[in-house]
């Protein structure tokens, strides 16, 4: 049974004490997340506190360590490969969302629709950054970084985009329901999770099938979804511009 390409299960047996390898791996893991974070943050008219964003980003990283034992438990106790993939995706999406709630539950910092996707995407990028850093340790350890890139094994770029899209889906769903009733908010949140988990599971399933040979096709689909997320993000941003808090 292979580990999913976007789950932290793959960090097993990849620990190294070589500082050069650790630096290269962490740069490779964190730089894509920082670039995406810069892209999303510049879209907000009223920037969030940098210190708070840093805390939320770190909470996303912490979520990787929480996800690890959960996903190991799923792998040990769920015999179906499809079931494992869906439960892995569900665990990661729930943990990323909870990471935001831990920091911002009943806080005054979320006071407009755009705040939800901003904070949830920030958490997702923290999760992806650390997960990808762990993923890169092995190829760097055995001097196979170039080979890994050429053979498509550095699927971490797709993983960063995946986490952005799936968590962005949840954040946008909550943002769109910002002015709705409690039932409407719960319904949109539920549907956001359903879509996010479905996308996450589909990505993992098709990457694992045929030893990752479908990666380019899946990535193309993921970029199409990313464009849709960007359009919805713009809609939520305009909702925030029209909203004048008391």
Averaged pLDDT for residues 130-146 = 66
Interatomic CA distance for residues 194 and 171, integer angstroms: 13
Averaged pLDDT for residues 65-88 = 92
pLDDT of res. 219: 77
CB 163 within 8 A of CB 127: yes
pLDDT of res. 214: 67
Which candidate, 187, 178, 170, places its Cα nearest to that of 229?
170
Interatomic CA distance for residues 234 and 239, integer angstroms: 9
For residue range 38-75, list pLDDT tens digits in order. Answer: 888 887 777 788 899 999 999 999 999 999 999 999 99
Beta carbons within 8 Å of 225's beta carbon, 6+ residues apart:
165, 199
Averaged pLDDT for residues 154-169 = 80
pLDDT of res. 229: 92
- Put residue 241 in one of left, alpha, beta given phi > 0 → left and psi -120 to 50 → alpha: alpha
pTM for this predicted structure: 0.84
pLDDT of res. 127: 95
For residue range 181-197, list pLDDT tens digits in order. Answer: 999 999 999 999 999 99
Q: Which two tokens stand for residue 79?
A: 């015999």
Interatomic CA distance for residues 71 and 46, integer angstroms: 37
Interatomic CA distance for residues 232 and 29, integer angstroms: 27
Interatomic CA distance for residues 218 and 223, integer angstroms: 9
For residue range 97-119, list pLDDT tens digits in order. Answer: 999 999 988 778 888 899 999 99
Averaged pLDDT for residues 226-231 = 92
Tell me the pLDDT of the chain averaged across its residues. 81
Please determine, for residue 135, whether its predicted confidence score (pLDDT) is greater than 80.
no
The H-assigned helical ranges of the chain are 19-41, 50-77, 81-104, 115-141, 145-150, 156-176, 182-208, 215-242
- pLDDT band, very low/low/confident/very high, at 2 (cuts 50, 70, 90): very low
Domain residue extents for the chain: 16-238
Interatomic CA distance for residues 139 and 243, integer angstroms: 49
């Amino acid at each position: 049974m292979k580990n999913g390409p976007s789950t932290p299960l793959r960090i097993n047996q990849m620990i190294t004490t070589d500082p050069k390898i650790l630096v290269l791996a962490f740069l490779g893991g964190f730089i894509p997340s920082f670039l995406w974070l810069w892209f999303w943050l510049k879209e907000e008219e009223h920037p969030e506190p940098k210190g708070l964003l840093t805390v939320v980003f770190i909470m996303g990283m912490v979520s990787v360590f929480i996800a690890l034992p959960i996903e190991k438990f799923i792998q040990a106790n769920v015999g179906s490969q499809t079931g494992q993939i869906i439960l892995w995706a569900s665990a990661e999406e729930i943990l990323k969302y909870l990471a935001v709630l831990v920091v911002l539950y009943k806080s005054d910092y979320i006071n407009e629709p755009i705040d939800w996707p901003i904070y949830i995407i920030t958490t997702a990028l923290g999760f992806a950054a650390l997960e990808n850093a762990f993923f890169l340790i092995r190829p760097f350890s055995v001097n196979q970084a170039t080979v890994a890139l050429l053979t498509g094994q550095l699927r971490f770029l797709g993983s960063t985009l995946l986490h952005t899209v799936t968590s962005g889906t949840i954040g946008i769903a909550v943002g769109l329901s910002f002015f709705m009733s409690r039932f409407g908010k719960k319904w949109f949140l539920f549907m956001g999770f359903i879509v996010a988990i479905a996308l996450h599971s589909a990505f993992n399933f098709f990457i694992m099938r045929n030893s990752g040979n479908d990666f380019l096709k899946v990535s193309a689909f993921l970029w199409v979804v990313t464009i849709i997320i960007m359009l919805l993000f713009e809609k939520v941003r305009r909702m925030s511009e029209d909203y004048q808090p008391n």
